[in-house]
Amino acid sequence: TRETKQHVLLGTVGVPEHSYRPRTNFSSKYDIKVLYLSGFTTKDEGIYACELHHSG
């Protein structure tokens, strides 16, 4: 069975999990946001979702 727990890869709202910190990179230009995950393996397979929260 696949794990259903949500993991935080990068963010300011939740604390990123230690195993993902050195593998993530985020870039932002205008209204485009890109999250990179390096060293992708079969353990990383699954469904990924993005949550963006705009302050103000």
pLDDT digits (tens, 9 = 90+) for 2-48: 566 776 776 666 666 777 778 888 888 888 888 888 888 888 888 87
pTM over 0.85: no
User: CA 24, CA 38: separation in Å to the nearest integer?
Assistant: 6
Confidence at residue 48, expressed as pLDDT on a 0 to 100 scale: 79
Rounded to a whole number of angstroms, the CA Rg of the chain reads: 12
Identity of residue 33: K
Q: Tell me the CA end-to-end span of the chain in Å, nearest whole number.
A: 41
Give the number of domains in the chain: 1
Q: What is the residue range of 15's domain?
A: 1-56
Q: Which two tokens mark 50?
A: 């993005």
